[in-house]
Chain A
Amino acid sequence: MSPRDGSDPHEPARRHPSDHEALAFRDDVEMAEREQAAGEAPVASPPSGARRISWQKWTFMPAFLVLALLATWLWFRGARLDSIAHQAVDNGKVWLALRQHIQLTAISTFFVLIIAIPLGIALTRSRLRRATPVAMAFANLGQAVPALGLLILLVIWLGIGAHSAIVGMVIYAVLPVLANTIAGLRGIDPTLTEAARGIGMSPTGVLTKVELPLAVPLILAGVRTALVLNVGTATLATFGGGGGLGDLISAGIVTQRMPVLILGSVLTVALALLVEWLASLAELLLRPRGLEVGE
């Protein structure tokens, strides 16, 4: 994880990533793979003292979104639309775009999870441990490829439509979850796994009862990152005929119809912020209780 996860000042008690991180900081290879994990990610750092955070923080975002959407809707009602603008938004096209966008995000995130988490677990088992640097280097190299280019190359290869967009989104979002899963599993205090083995747990038992629960906070942070990334990448699906809110934005830009452009952009921003908010809520609720004893 990046420095920002490591030395977050108000999480004195969350031992495992921090100590490890501070050390890893100097190591070039490690650093490269870590900074990717969290850095590339829009919002990877788990809100630390989050459970103590007041209700204001949890109600601010939805309230803000409701107000912003309401204001946009009222303004859009009053805006003068010509026939071209009408064509872009009439007949439920806005709802269709929104629904497509949510579908694209949900489907691609689902595939990211079922690919990245098992892969992360496999790469931390002792047998495959040596392959990890190779896999991470490969994944980081892939990260240099721009999402837009990747998506369009897939469209040329697999044909126009939502499926190409989903494949591209999955490829693009696997890395944060994979890197966080590996970092989470590796950051575990080895004495804990040794103790688990010592009391006679099977390797599967150690993994499911000790390692995975301890890695959950980092894995969830990776999932949140992937979700937010996917909402963003889904806007690019429009260039390959994949639908989504990008349809409204690109129609607005191409036809120079500002109301359509603004409506599409505001809806996309609202969706991204809402997803982020929901994911951070989920992150908080799903974190194992045992990890909080120290706080």
Chain B
Amino acid sequence: MSFWEYVGTRHAQLLTDTYQHASAVFQCMVLATLLGVFIAVMTYRSEWAGNLATTSTATILTIPSLALIGLLIPIVGLGVPPTVIALTLYGLLPVVRNAIVGLRGVDPDLVDAANGIGMSRAARLFRVELPLAWPPILTGIRVATQMLMGIAAIAAFASGPGLGNEIFRGIASLGSANSLNQVLSGTLGIAVLALLFDAAYVLIGRLTISRGIRA
């Protein structure tokens, strides 16, 4: 069976896997972004807290994904829970690091001006600092998403959802006629998803980066 015939006959299964893959990555990324920006907002003012946040998230990222999933399985079991926890943890670092750098890079004069016109702390954060720090945060989200695409494939080994299952089906039937098609469809599907997400982020950047700081 040629590759296209394979895709034609299995398109229902492939579409489900693709949708689940995209949805898992997207949801975990939303979670990681909220958590990451929150951590950054809490820590960026203090030198040591910010560094601690960066160092600890960097340490998580050093851990190979298969090993982290392996350590999560005895605690939370197989399936969706280890996948979601692992993906969210790995998505944190780029967001936290870039958000801290972005927030610290905001021109102190602007913060001063915001104080001067009587903005509250929250208003200053949401209307001045975060919009100015948004471009690096968005870059962090892009980097993290691309990484999560690959990690989600590995999570399928712990019965997680997504296109990784297609790859592992191919591994299980290594040597059979369809194994190449299975691995190829899973791999290409993830690559295409990664590129689509990347394109979406470029678009989001165009729409959400404050007009004042656009080049």
Contact = CB atoms under 8 A, between A and B. Distances in A.
Contacts of B31: none
B21 to A, nearest CB: 10
B111 to A, nearest CB: 15
B209 to A, nearest CB: 10
Contacts of A152: 167, 170-171, 183, 187
A7 interface: yes
Given A25-B136, A262-B71, A273 B59 contact: yes
Nearest to B142: A35
B70 interface: yes
A289 B69 CA distance: 41
Give the interface SS of chain B, mostly helix, strand, loop or mixed: helix
A235 interface: yes
Interface residues of A, number: 60
B183 A265 contact: no
A144 B65 CA distance: 17
A263 B142 CA distance: 34
A145 interface: yes
Contacts of B97: 4, 45
A149 B153 contact: yes
B37 interface: no
A67 interface: no
Contacts of B70: 249, 252-253, 261-262, 264-265, 268
Contacts of B174: 155-156, 160
A266 B101 CA distance: 32
Contacts of B146: 40, 143-144
B67 interface: yes
Interface string B141-176: 011101101100110011000001001101100100
Interface string B180-200: 100110111011001100100
A40 B148 CA distance: 10
A111 interface: no
A25 B140 CA distance: 12
B183 A156 contact: yes
Interface string A245-264: 11001101100001001101
Q: Which 3 residue pairs across A and B have the least CB separation, nearest first?
A: A149-B187, A39-B143, A265-B70
Interface string A66-96: 0000000000000000000000000000000
Contacts of B142: 35, 39
B43 interface: no
A8 B153 CA distance: 33
Contacts of B170: 152
Contacts of B188: 149
Interface of A: 2-4, 6-10, 25-28, 31, 35-36, 39-40, 42-43, 45, 141, 143-150, 152-153, 155-156, 160, 228, 231-236, 239-240, 245-246, 249-250, 252-253, 258, 261-262, 264-266, 268-269, 272-273, 276
A155 B175 CA distance: 10
Contacts, number: 165
Interface in B91-109: 93-94, 97-98, 101-102, 104-105
A292 to B, nearest CB: 21
Given A144-B191, A149-B187, A232-B64, 6 more contacts: A2-B143, A146-B164, A148-B154, A148-B187, A152-B170, A228-B62
A268 B67 contact: yes
Nearest to B164: A148
Nearest to B78: A253
B34 interface: no
Nearest to B168: A239
B8 interface: no
B35 interface: no
A185 B197 CA distance: 31
B85 to A, nearest CB: 14
A148 B150 contact: yes
Given A43-B62, A144-B146, A235-B64, A149 B190 contact: yes
A4 B50 CA distance: 12
B184 A253 contact: no
B183 A253 contact: no
B151 to A, nearest CB: 8
A149 B183 contact: yes
B74 interface: yes
Contacts of B102: 3
A249 B68 CA distance: 10
Given A253-B158, A262-B71, A265-B70, A146 B190 contact: yes
A9 B104 contact: yes
B125 interface: no
26 contacts: A2-B139, A3-B105, A27-B215, A39-B139, A43-B61, A144-B195, A146-B149, A146-B187, A147-B150, A148-B153, A148-B154, A149-B153, A149-B183, A152-B167, A153-B184, A245-B67, A246-B66, A258-B74, A265-B68, A265-B71, A266-B67, A268-B64, A268-B67, A269-B63, A269-B71, A272-B62
